Every structure is written in C-alpha cells, then in structure tokens.
Chains A and B, each alone.
Chain A
Amino acid sequence: MSAPRTSTTGSTRRRRALPMAALAITLVTASTALTACGGGSGGGSASGPLKVWVRGAGDSQKAYQMVFDGYTRKTGVKVQLFMTNTDFETKLNAAAAAHKLPDVVIDDGSQLGAFKSQGIITEVDQAKISGASQVSGAAWKSVADDQGKTYGVPFSAQANVLLVRSDWLKKVGMQPPKTWADLEKVAEAFTTQDPDGNGKNDTYGLAVPGSTQRGYLSWFWSNFLYQAGGNFLEPTGSGGFRSVIDSPQAVQAAQFLEKLYCTDKVVQPGALNNLTTDTNKAFQTGVAGMYLTGPYAYATMDATAVKGKYDVVAPPAGPKGTGSLAEGTTVYAMAGSKRAADFDALASYMVSPEAQKTGMTGVPTSTIVRLPINTTVDPATVHAGDPRWQVAQQVYAKSSTYEPVSAPGWETYRSDASESLNKMLSGCGDPGKTLASLDSQYRSLLKK
C-alpha cells in the first residue's frame, strides 16, 4: 500500500471500489441487527428419553438431575435434560417455530399467561396426577388459567421475606421492622448512623433491584402493593381481567416506594439499573442492610461474608397488613408431545414427598424446591435446625399473593409497570399520575 499509486485508472477504480466495499460492509453489519438466534434440540418422539428443558443454571442442574434420576429409578423412563438461563425463551421460540418442542418445560410460574397465549402448553388433568390431593390449594391456583383450567403442575413455591443485618440492628439499637413505619426508621438509621462503624457515610437502608429488565422493579414493588391491599389486575368474574393499578391502595404503595427512594434516600446508589446480581452484591458487601427477596437467597448469601450476620423476618405490614409476593416453579406439558402418560408420571413423581425433599436438600447450594408444594412435607423438619425456612413457610401460607400470571401476556403488564415505576423514581414524579397513565396502558392491553 505504501507505494504511491498515481495512475488515473487506479484512482478511479479505487474510487469505485471503495463505495462498493463500504456498501457491502453496511449491508452485512446492518443485517446482523435483524438476525435472530436460535438453537437447541427438541422433538416429540413417542419413545426414547423424555425431553425436559429447565430454565436455570449452575448447581441446579445437579439438583434436577437427582430428581430425574429418582423418576428413572421408579419408572424406567430416562430423562434428557437441557438447561440454560441464557435466552431460554428465545430457544423455546425457535423450537416452537420448528414444531420440535421438548416434552416438558420447567420454568417460572409467571410464564403461564405467555406460554398459553403462544399455544405451546397443554391442559393438565389433575385427576391423572397421583398425589394431586396433597398439593396445596394455593399452588394449584397458581397454575390455573383465567378460566380456572389447569395448565401445568406446581413443583416449588416461595414467598418474599425480609433479610435484615442483625449486627447493624445491634449497632443502632433497634429491632427488625414489623411495619412500614418501622422499615423507614430502621432504613434511616442504617443510612445515617454508620452501622458498619467504618467512620464513612457509605451505608444504606434497603437494597432494591430497580431495573426494568425482566420487570424487576415491578416484581419487587408488588410486595408493597400487596401490603397496601392493592393489585395489578382483578378477575372480572366472567373470564377476563380489569385493571386496578390506579386504586388508592396501589397509589399508597407507589408513594411508599417513592418516599424511601426520593425523600428518605435510603436505597443503595444505582438501584434503578440494578438486577438481582447487583442487588445481592449490595447486601453481601454491606452497602445496604435490608433486602426483600425470596428464600433462595439464603444459599446465595451464606456463600459470602454476610453469612450469619442477618436475620430473616416476615415482610413489614402495610396499611392492609402483612403481604408478600408469592412465586413458583411450574412443570409445563408442552404442545405436540406424544408422551402425555410420561408427563403425568413425571409430574406425579415431582410432587411426591420424596422428590420434594430431594429438591430441597439434595444439593445444598441450590434449593430448586424452595417451599414444598406438598402439604405433607414440613420444610422446617427437612431443613432441620434452620428456622429461616419456617418464616418463609409461614409468610407463604398466611399472607402471600401470586401475580395475576394467568392474564394472557402477563409479562408485558409487569414490564410496563417496571418502566412506569422506574421513570417515577428517577424523576421523583407524582405516583398518582404515574399509575393513572399505567392504568390507561393496561386498559388498552386488555382490549387486545
């Protein structure tokens, strides 16, 4: 290239070649924006191993494998497990487009509405699941669609609890919060009274996953919403839903969150971009002293320096009383599978006391069954000597509420709520107006 190219033909050729090259580069690079990814294997063969896809990662693979090994020992049917956390839904979409769905999918209970409207899951006959009567009523309700039909079998349940730094409480001379007012007071003390004693003003009261991704903020805030006695959507009684997101109770819950963030300033910095991992870190590293989260956090937290330095209590009571977000893991029967009998057998095994116990303690670092959905299994006995599970069980049984996951396309409602709340917090805007405009968004979604 260094030799001077001075012939006129060379320069015109170059002049023509350059734009063409640039155009080609454009076409190629720009087209990647349109390229969707896909992959994974699946299929609905009538024999051979049962294909099961699980959304999860890390040690839960071992835990699920233990459960499936138990099933294979009982029935002789082998399970082919595929597990990923990355782009799980995208891979499922690709499999659906190819009509090669796995036989069984194990995923969040909140996917029910989405899966159902995509037509990729099939109805489950409770009568064919042995041990169905041992499954708690609340858990069965969490897998019912808006018409009351069963779409899936519950495997695990959980409700959010409050993690509080016990050493910090001692330092500021306070008790774990029982009400919203207590929560504010403790959060303020944690923020202003240097509970870690390092002489720096670097601690905060509450860890909040405030990102809009996957609907985190809405998911977190729903605890406050239920404590205030509000909800997102309400069944109309005739198979549909109506929006109740702008109810006075919901506004109260939004005001409370905003007060913590904007007025009291007790939430960790950067919360509005934080996902679970970042928020976990804020609690683990002593940035924030309280964290409303699910009991699966016990294993995560106990693997870090914060182990033994926190108490687990029921979430604080709001105007309506104690409330907490309930969630679950569901075993879905996939459309197009020719293995209905094997699904029933697998689901029957997964709700059995044996499988539930394996899921709870088989792999200590991964509690794939957080709270048993089988009423004959007592989590406190299984987790002998760990009273934290008893707290979680009591909160779940007495005061928890599931999101309206049976609403078709529930993910969109959750994501819209997150966007609105995130906007409200970042600009310290009016909670009433925020929820009123969210309400009109919900109304137009409901019309579709």
Chain B
Amino acid sequence: MALTKDRPGGSPRSGRPRFPAGNRTPSAPRALPRWPRVATPWLFLAPVLVLFGVFKFWPTLWGMYLSFFEVRPYLGNRWVGWDNFSTAFHDAALRSAVEHTVVDALVTVAASALLGFGLALLLEGPARHLRILRTAAFLPVVTAMVAVAELWNTILYPGGYGTLNSLLGHLGLGPEPFLSSPHSSLASVMLIQVWKSAPYDMVIFVAGLAGIDRQLYEAAAIDGAGAWHRLRHVTLPSLRPVTTIVLTLGIIRGLRVFTEIYVLTGGGPAGSTETIVTYTYKQGIQNNQLGMASAVSTVLFLVTVLLTCLTLWWRRRKEA
C-alpha cells in the first residue's frame, strides 16, 4: 500500500535541524524555549494527577503500608511484618476465591470479546438504524449494576415460576437452580457479566473497525479475497491494538469483579462464587481484619500490574 505518499509534506518537525531560538518565524509559534515545552503537557495533566494522587495513588500506597499491620483504627496499628500475607496464603477460602476469580476472568474476557466483536461486525456503520441498535445494545453497560443484578435475580429465580425457569418449563426442562446451587452459580454470574461487558467491548471494536483503511479491503477484494479472507487477513490484524485494550481492560475488570457477585450471591452458596474482592470485603468490613484485607488487595494489585505488563509485552512481540 501507499506507505509514504500522504506524509504531511514540509512539516517543520520532519527536518532534523531545529529552528534556533533566535531564528523564529511568525508561522512557527510553538518553538518555545525548552522548559515550558517540557512543562506544558504536565500542566495540562496536573489537575487530574492531583485528583488521582489524592483519591487513587495515595490510598493505594497507604493500603500497601497497612498490609504490614494489624489495623486498629483507634488504638493504633500494630506492626506484624509479613503475618497478614502468610495468613492469607494459608487460607483455603482465599485459594478457592483465586480459582474462581481466574476462571471468571478468563471466561468472561474471552466470551465478552468474542461476542463484542461479533456485535461490532453486525452493527458497524453510519446508518441510523445501526446507531439505534448500537445504543440499545450498549444500555446494559450504562445501567447501574445493582439494578441489573436485581433484575437478573428475578429472571434467574430458582423456583419453577422464575422468568427463565417458566420458559424452560414450556420446553419441558428445568427448573434449574441457577444462582442457588454451587454447581451452577459461578456460570450464572459469568453469564450476567458477559451480558453487561460484551457491549462495552463492542463499542471499542466498532471504533477500531471504523479506523481500518477502506482501501485495504478494496485492494484485498481486487486480489480476489472473499469475506472470510478479508476478515482473517485485513480486519483481525488491523484490530490488534484495539484487541489489546479490550483484553487488558477485561482482565482488570475480571480480577476485581465485585458488585454483581456481592449483590447476586454474596459469594455463596458455599463460597462457590467467592472472588478475591468479595473475600477482601468480607475480611475487611465484616470481620474487621483491615490489615489482612489490605495484604490481599496489595497482592491483587501487583498481580494486575504484572499481567498487564505481560499482555503488553506479548502484544509488542507480536507486532514486531
């Protein structure tokens, strides 16, 4: 393809020798002295960074610090070294919570990405009816999770007269216990998560699809590529950066899944839907073990950062 043709011609930035400060022309006002040039982006970022610093970064660091203490808000914290971490690592409940979280994250990330991609292919385009459909499909994302969870609670009611169960009843199936049996509860909450996050992935994919150069499709069609080949060799490779974003966001979302599970099952029955964050919540808020909860959160944080770095490394290797 035309790789060099439409480079912005004559851009002052393309030439190596920069304009010396004294040689500034009226048409190049952005050639400022060095320090304001460096500072400008930071000045623009400053308000957000300050907010994040106060509400995100500082509490994060504080949480890490607290993981080495027995937290006693009033009496003063007591240093316990690595005790919180070792208690957490030896807790079978946390181990099974980790298993559930990993299964949940993998399945929901893959399923939402696939479904989101499928929806994006179907609903991409500028036509008005597609826009309406896209909006409709996006609704689960913007609906409050607590409301959504209550709705699903009714749909998945385990008795014979639950919405889904009465439908199954007409087909001569069921009633299924869904959320109320430890065998089907995790699958049920995963279904709801996919329902909620697939449209989110769809929107990112739609943006990605819109960014693909149409000429690539035309060229491929001229070369005799069918629909499948165009998808396989043009669409998918062009969407690689977008896919990275979708997967990264999905993994983070999966690892810290909380609201849907807390509202739907509270981690039960028999701990079958307990995830890392619901476990942390129980330890910290219900059992008042804030130090231990901080320790678990710290590990989760480090694992998330590590996984993200791995995803990025993998993508860069693929791109290279």
Which residues from chain A sit less than 8 Å from chain B, CB to CB?
Answer: 1-2, 4, 6-8, 14-15, 18-19, 22-23, 25-36, 87, 89-90, 93-94, 96-97, 99, 101, 114, 118-120, 200-202, 210-215, 268-273, 275, 287, 335-336, 409, 411-412, 415, 419, 422-423, 425-427
Query: Are A93 and B159 closer than 8 Å at their CB atoms?
Result: no
Q: Please, how many angstroms separate the alpha-carbon atoms of A287 and B154 in the complex?
A: 14
Q: Looking at the complex, which one of B60, B207, B277, B311 makes contact with A31 (CB distance below 8 Å)?
A: B60
Number of A-B contacts (CB under 8 A): 192
Query: Are A273 and B269 closer than 8 Å at their CB atoms?
Result: yes
Query: Are A335 and B74 closer than 8 Å at their CB atoms?
Result: yes
B205 at the interface (CB under 8 A from A): no
Chain B 50-67 per-residue mask, 1 if CB under 8 angstroms from chain A, else 0: 001001110110011000
Q: Please, how many angstroms separate the alpha-carbon atoms of A258 and B217 in the complex?
A: 64
Q: A268-B159, A415-B287 are in contact. List 7 more A-B contacts (CB 8 A).
A: A4-B213, A33-B256, A33-B277, A93-B73, A93-B290, A118-B72, A273-B269
A90 proximity list for chain B (CB < 8 A) = 285
Chain A's nearest CB lies how many Å from the CB of B49? 11
Q: Please, how many angstroms separate the alpha-carbon atoms of A218 and B161 in the complex?
A: 29
Query: Are A27 and B269 closer than 8 Å at their CB atoms?
Result: no
B294 at the interface (CB under 8 A from A): yes
**What are the nearest 6 A-B pairs in CB distance?**
A272-B269, A96-B73, A34-B63, A97-B73, A426-B270, A269-B158
A30 proximity list for chain B (CB < 8 A) = 252, 255-256, 300-301, 304-305
Q: Please, how many angstroms separate the alpha-carbon atoms of A28 and B280 in the complex?
A: 19
Q: Please, how many angstroms separate the alpha-carbon atoms of A396 and B304 in the complex?
A: 52
Query: Are A411 and B270 closer than 8 Å at their CB atoms?
Result: no
A32 proximity list for chain B (CB < 8 A) = 56, 256
Q: Looking at the complex, which one of B5, B74, B177, B308 makes contact with A22 (CB distance below 8 Å)?
A: B308
Q: How large is the interface on B (under 10, 10 to 19, 20 to 34, 35 or more residues)?
A: 35 or more
Given A22-B245, A118-B288, A272-B270, A201 and B179 contact (CB-CB distance below 8 Å): no
Q: Looking at the complex, which one of B52, B56, B179, B249 makes contact with A273 (CB distance below 8 Å)?
A: B179
Query: Are A29 and B252 closer than 8 Å at their CB atoms?
Result: yes
Query: Are B75 and A270 closer than 8 Å at their CB atoms?
Result: no
B143 at the interface (CB under 8 A from A): no
Q: Please, how many angstroms separate the alpha-carbon atoms of A101 and B290 in the complex?
A: 18
Query: Are A28 and B56 closer than 8 Å at their CB atoms?
Result: yes
Query: Are A19 and B264 closer than 8 Å at their CB atoms?
Result: no
Q: What are 8 of the A-B contact pairs (CB < 8 Å)?
A: A25-B252, A30-B255, A35-B63, A94-B73, A272-B269, A275-B266, A412-B287, A412-B288
Most chain B CB inside 10 Å of its own CB: which residue of A14, A23, A213: A213
Chain B 103-146 per-residue mask, 1 if CB under 8 angstroms from chain A, else 0: 00000000000000000000000000000000000000000000
Chain A's nearest CB lies how many Å from the CB of B211? 5
B31 at the interface (CB under 8 A from A): no
Q: Please, how many angstroms separate the alpha-carbon atoms of A336 and B161 in the complex?
A: 55
Query: Are B210 and A1 closer than 8 Å at their CB atoms?
Result: yes
Q: Please, how many angstroms separate the alpha-carbon atoms of A287 and B161 in the complex?
A: 11
Q: Please, how many angstroms separate the alpha-carbon atoms of A415 and B286 in the complex?
A: 8
Query: Are B160 and A202 closer than 8 Å at their CB atoms?
Result: yes
Most chain B CB inside 10 Å of its own CB: which residue of A27, A32, A34, A213: A34
Q: Please, how many angstroms separate the alpha-carbon atoms of A160 and B315 in the complex?
A: 60
Chain A's nearest CB lies how many Å from the CB of B225? 19
Given A19-B312, A31-B59, A271-B180, A427 and B215 contact (CB-CB distance below 8 Å): no
Residue in A closest to B285 when the chains form the complex, CB atoms: A90
Given A28-B52, A427-B270, A202 and B159 contact (CB-CB distance below 8 Å): yes
B319 proximity list for chain A (CB < 8 A) = 15
Q: Please, how many angstroms separate the alpha-carbon atoms of A19 and B317 in the complex?
A: 12
Q: Please, how many angstroms separate the alpha-carbon atoms of A254 and B2 in the complex?
A: 76
Query: Are A202 and B312 closer than 8 Å at their CB atoms?
Result: no
Q: Looking at the complex, which one of B157, B271, B287 makes contact with A270 (CB distance below 8 Å)?
A: B157
A97 proximity list for chain B (CB < 8 A) = 73-74
B282 at the interface (CB under 8 A from A): yes
B8 proximity list for chain A (CB < 8 A) = 7
Q: Looking at the complex, which one of B282, B297, B298, B309 makes contact with A23 (CB distance below 8 Å)?
A: B309
Given A18-B244, A422-B270, A426-B182, A269 and B157 contact (CB-CB distance below 8 Å): yes
A419 proximity list for chain B (CB < 8 A) = 93, 271
Query: Are B288 and A23 closer than 8 Å at their CB atoms?
Result: no
Query: Are A114 and B288 closer than 8 Å at their CB atoms?
Result: yes
B315 proximity list for chain A (CB < 8 A) = 19
Chain B's nearest CB lies how many Å from the CB of A254? 15
Residue in A closest to B303 when the chains form the complex, CB atoms: A30
A425 proximity list for chain B (CB < 8 A) = 269-270
Residue in A closest to B256 when the chains form the complex, CB atoms: A33
Query: Are A34 and B64 closer than 8 Å at their CB atoms?
Result: yes
Q: Looking at the complex, which one of A34, A114, A272 makes contact with B268 (CB distance below 8 Å)?
A: A272
Residue in B closest to A26 when the chains form the complex, CB atoms: B308
Given A35-B59, A93-B73, A211 and B268 contact (CB-CB distance below 8 Å): yes
B294 proximity list for chain A (CB < 8 A) = 34
